[in-house]
Copies of this chain bind each other. A is one copy, B any other.
């Protein structure tokens, strides 16, 4: 009888890991696409699929949350984690969608750098979330969060550098409009990863 009020912690952990898993897949695919320089309508379908898989897990987590009396973390933190993880894949989808609309094919070295940083950051996120299982050893979680913060700072500096170069060298205003938006989006993606890391850190602190 009391069983239904017991914390279903492992279910939440499994679900979080599945949701971040789709973000990992999306970031890896994003890097591959940017490295190939072949961005067309066909790549969007794969990201949209990953987005829908992630949505399904997100809904499962919210359902579980509505049914569970005792949760391993603050309910608002669980909501925030689900929403921010969703934003990661959403932003990858937005960037690739815009590149298709703007017909931005071809390898862009700045975007290659961003895509590597984004892939690294999402992988660190997956480590941080995996680390939530063993609260007694918080070092792996904190290390991953530090790495995500470092990548966000590096992304800031990269965006400033490439925008300064864009405004100095590019004479076609329409190309400025396109690339400015894409570079800013790429940096925003690293910001979103940092937002997820902040939620994870907050979960850790409250458990301590």
- Nearest to A102 among chain B residues (CB) is B167
> CB < 8 Å: which of B101, B164, B205, B206 contacts A163?
B101
- Inter-chain CA distance A55–B69, complex, in Å, is 35
Q: Which residues of B contact A206 (CB under 8 A)?
A: 66
Q: How far is the CB of A159 from chain B (nearest CB, A)?
A: 9
Q: Are A205 and B66 in contact (CB under 8 A)?
A: yes
Q: Which residues of B contact A101 (CB under 8 A)?
A: 160, 163-164, 167
Size of A's binding interface in residues, CB under 8 A: 17
CB of A38 closer than 8 Å to a CB of B: no
Q: How far is the CB of A198 from chain B (nearest CB, A)?
A: 11
> CB < 8 Å: which of B102, B163, B167, B205 contacts A174?
B167
Q: Which residues of B contact A97 (CB under 8 A)?
A: 160
Q: Are B173 and A174 in contact (CB under 8 A)?
A: yes
CB of A180 closer than 8 Å to a CB of B: yes
- Inter-chain CA distance A206–B177, complex, in Å, is 44
- Inter-chain CA distance A167–B176, complex, in Å, is 12
Q: Which residues of B contact A160 (CB under 8 A)?
A: 97, 101
- Inter-chain CA distance A205–B178, complex, in Å, is 41
- Inter-chain CA distance A163–B94, complex, in Å, is 13
Q: Are B174 and A176 in contact (CB under 8 A)?
A: yes
Q: Which residues of B contact A174 (CB under 8 A)?
A: 167, 173, 176
Q: Which residues of B contact A180 (CB under 8 A)?
A: 177
Identify the 5 closest CB pairs spanning chains A and B, nearest first. A173-B173, A101-B164, A101-B163, A173-B174, A101-B160
Given contacts A167-B178, A177-B177, 17 further A-B contacts (CB under 8 A): A66-B205, A66-B206, A97-B160, A101-B160, A101-B163, A101-B164, A101-B167, A102-B167, A103-B167, A167-B174, A173-B173, A173-B174, A173-B176, A173-B177, A174-B176, A176-B177, A177-B180
User: Can you sample 19 A-B contacts with CB below 8 Å?
Assistant: A66-B205, A66-B206, A97-B160, A101-B160, A101-B163, A101-B164, A101-B167, A102-B167, A103-B167, A167-B174, A167-B178, A173-B173, A173-B174, A173-B176, A173-B177, A174-B176, A176-B177, A177-B177, A177-B180
